C-alpha cells in the first residue's frame, strides 16, 4: 500500500532520525491515506446523485427525525448555521426538502423531506451502502472484529489528553 506523498516525506525524515517506531507512524499514516481515499471515492460516487456527503447526511437526518430546525441540523452535522443554510437552500432548490416556519416561533425554520428527496435518498443509500460493504468484502468476520478493536484502541489513544 502506497502512502500519500505528504506522509512519505514525513516518514523519510523520521527514518533518518531513527528515534521512534517508524512502523507505528507508517501504520497511522496508512490509516489516514486509506481514509482519505475512501472520502475521495465516496465524493465521486455521490456526484452521480448530485449530492455531497453533507447533503446526503441532511437527507438521512430528515428521514430519521422527520423534521428538524436549521439549528438542530447544524448541531448534528457539527457545522455553522450559515453553512447549514447554504446546504439547505441547495436541497430546497432541487425540491428534495421543504421548509416552513415553526407555528409557535416564526423565527425557527423547520425542514423535512419531500417525496422526491425520499426517493433519491433510498436509491442513494441502496447503491452507496453496497459500495461501502464491498470495501470490506474480503475481510472475514474475525478480521472485522479485530479491525474494530484496533480502531477503538486508536480512538481511545487519540482522546487521551496526556499523550506527549
How many domains does the chain contain in total? 2
Q: Are residues 16 and 83 in the same domain?
A: no
Q: Is residue 22 part of a domain?
A: yes
Considering the domain boundaries, does residue 164 fall inside one? Answer: no
Q: Tell me the three cell numbers of residue 150.
A: 484496533
Q: In the chain, where does DSSP find H-type helix?
A: 5-17, 22-47, 53-65, 70-77, 81-93, 115-135, 141-159
23 & 57 share domain: no
- Residue 163: what pLDDT? 63
Same domain, 34 and 83: no
- 103 and 22 in a common domain: no
- Pair 139, 75 in one domain: yes
pLDDT band at 42 (very low <50, low <70, confident <90, very high): very high
pLDDT digits (tens, 9 = 90+) for 82-96: 999 999 999 999 999
pTM value?
0.82
Q: Round to whole Å and give the CA distance between 115 and 94.
A: 12
- Both 68 and 27 in a single domain? no
Q: What is the four-CA torsion angle of 122, 123, 126, 129, rounded to 10 degrees?
A: -90
Give yes or no: residues 23 and 99 share one domain: no
Structural domain that includes position 37:
1-47
Q: Do 40 and 20 fall into the same domain? A: yes
Q: Which tens digit of pLDDT belongs to each residue from 58-83?
A: 999 999 999 999 999 999 999 998 99
Amino acid at each position: 500500500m502506497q502512502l500519500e506523498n505528504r506522509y512519505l516525506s514525513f516518514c523519510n525524515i523520521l527514518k533518518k532520525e531513527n528515534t521512534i517506531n517508524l512502523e507505528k507512524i507508517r501504520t497511522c499514516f496508512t490509516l489516514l491515506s486509506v481514509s482519505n481515499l475512501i472520502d475521495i471515492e465516496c465524493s465521486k460516487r455521490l456526484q452521480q446523485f448530485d449530492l455531497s456527503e453533507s447533503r446526503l447526511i441532511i437527507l438521512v437526518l430528515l428521514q430519521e427525525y422527520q423534521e428538524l430546525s436549521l439549528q438542530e441540523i447544524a448541531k448534528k452535522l457539527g457545522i455553522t448555521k450559515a453553512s447549514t443554510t447554504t446546504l439547505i437552500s441547495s436541497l430546497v432548490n432541487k425540491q428534495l426538502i421543504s421548509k416552513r416556519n415553526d407555528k409557535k416561533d416564526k423565527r425557527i425554520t423547520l425542514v423535512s423531506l419531500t417525496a422526491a428527496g425520499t426517493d433519491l435518498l433510498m436509491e442513494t443509500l441502496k447503491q452507496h451502502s453496497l459500495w461501502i460493504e464491498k470495501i470490506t468484502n474480503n475481510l472475514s468476520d474475525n478480521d472485522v472484529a479485530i479491525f474494530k478493536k484496533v480502531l477503538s484502541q486508536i480512538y481511545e489513544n487519540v482522546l487521551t489528553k496526556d499523550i506527549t
